[in-house]
Amino acid sequence: MEQIPAFFKTQPLVSALLLKSVKHGRLAHAYLFEGDRGTGKDQAALWLAKEIFCQQKINDQPCNVCNNCTRIDEGIHPDVLVVEPDGQTIKVDQIRELQTEFSKSGFEGQHKVFILKDAEKMNLSAANSLLKFLEEPAGGFLAILETTALARILPTIQSRCQILHFQSLSKKVLQEKLQAQGIGKQSAALLTDLTNSYDKAVEISQDEWFNEAKESMTQWFNYLKNRDLQSFIYVQKKLLTIFKEKNQQQQGLSILLHFYQGYLKEAVKQGLPQKIADINQQIQLILTAEQKLGANVSFQNVCEQLALKITAETLKKNL
Ligand SMILES: [Zn+2]
């Protein structure tokens, strides 16, 4: 059962490099996998362990069915150890335990692999203990450190490792992953416009504020696209009560822009040139509003001006 793992598609550079190193027997003693959560670091670490231990590789890929592959997947292979934070930190005892295990020769062969997740959570004594370990690499021994925060890994440890950068997910892949987490399609699409970090997207989606933000922006969008004069009053009546912090205000305009882009797509599909031109013009106004907010014009000012400009024609008619 040959299976190309998903991270080959999402991390072409990393997977090509690792595959080449495996093929030529030129693996480093220690790797540091760096990148956001959800970018495939865990999967890549297990894949690499299977590459080393698989008894019947197919086209250079682990078979995923042999005794070694299945034990690695289940986390019970005696020569593949996975260390995760115990609570908020990785403690020195956890690293010492690892060293004791590794001072014995391989249980079943000459290779040993250890995978250290959330390596930035090592406390200082754990990090120093690991450093000694990395300074005296034994043959057939492979360390894989994973981190979402490279800057918090001691430079001395970084310099002992080959650092592989896992790219942030493309919008499409990120949206699929969010939907797989049970987040609705529309929210998932919106989240990918707000951030390209899986972690951040999940965090935003779990924030109660996000639902309020989405609802109020939906309402404002409906007023704006109908050039309804309510859109002006709504700024003070509602938006100011929800978008208080600067970063919330920036996200608010991003949410609005997201709705407008969906609206534009629809108009393009329907082939309505006048409508397309109108929407493009309004999108331009939102982009300008974003710039003004960035230049420290107040959110209220920016939004009220936006509402005035978009409803200008309606105003003229009513005069
Ligand atoms: Zn196998």
List pLDDT tens digits, range 156-190.
Answer: 999 999 999 999 888 888 999 999 999 999 999 99
Q: Is 108's pLDDT higher than 70?
A: no
pLDDT tens profile 223-264: 999 999 999 999 999 999 999 999 999 999 999 999 999 999
Residue 27 alpha carbon to ligand 1 centre in Å: 19
Residue 287 alpha carbon to ligand 1 centre in Å: 53
Residue 47 alpha carbon to ligand 1 centre in Å: 10
Residue 3 alpha carbon to ligand 1 centre in Å: 11
Residue 80 alpha carbon to ligand 1 centre in Å: 14
Residue 75 alpha carbon to ligand 1 centre in Å: 14
Q: Is 48's pLDDT higher than 70?
A: yes
Residue 73 alpha carbon to ligand 1 centre in Å: 10
* pLDDT greater at residue 244 or residue 316: 244
Residue 127 alpha carbon to ligand 1 centre in Å: 33
Confidence at 106, pLDDT banded by 50, 70, 90: low
Cβ neighbours, 10 Å, residue 141: 19
Residue 285 alpha carbon to ligand 1 centre in Å: 57
Residue 67 alpha carbon to ligand 1 centre in Å: 7
Confidence at 100, pLDDT banded by 50, 70, 90: confident
Question: What integer pLDDT is reported at residue 109 of this predicted model?
Answer: 67
Residue 45 alpha carbon to ligand 1 centre in Å: 15
Confidence at 86, pLDDT banded by 50, 70, 90: confident
Q: Is 1's pLDDT higher than 70?
A: no
Q: Which of 28-42, 204-218, 305-319 has the lowest mean pLDDT?
A: 305-319
Rounded mean pLDDT of the chain?
91
Question: What integer pLDDT is reported at residue 143 of this predicted model?
Answer: 94
Q: Is 20's pLDDT higher than 90?
A: yes
- In contact, 99 and 93? CB cutoff 8 Å: no
Residue 20 alpha carbon to ligand 1 centre in Å: 19
- Rounded Cα gap, residues 203 and 191, in angstroms: 10
Residue 204 alpha carbon to ligand 1 centre in Å: 39
Residue 69 alpha carbon to ligand 1 centre in Å: 4
Residue 34 alpha carbon to ligand 1 centre in Å: 26
Residue 55 alpha carbon to ligand 1 centre in Å: 5
E-assigned strands of the chain?
30-34, 80-83, 112-116, 141-147, 162-165
Total residue count of the chain as it appears in this document: 319
Q: Which of 48-52, 87-91, 218-222, 297-301 has the lowest mean pLDDT?
A: 87-91
Confidence at 293, pLDDT banded by 50, 70, 90: very high
- Rounded Cα gap, residues 127 and 157, in angstroms: 8
Residue 145 alpha carbon to ligand 1 centre in Å: 23
Question: What integer pLDDT is reported at residue 215 of this predicted model?
Answer: 95
Q: What is the pTM of this model?
A: 0.69
* SS3 at position 142: strand
Question: What integer pLDDT is reported at residue 169 of this predicted model?
Answer: 83
**Phi, psi at 37, each rounded to 5°:** -65, 145
* CA nearest to 148, candidates 11, 259, 42: 42
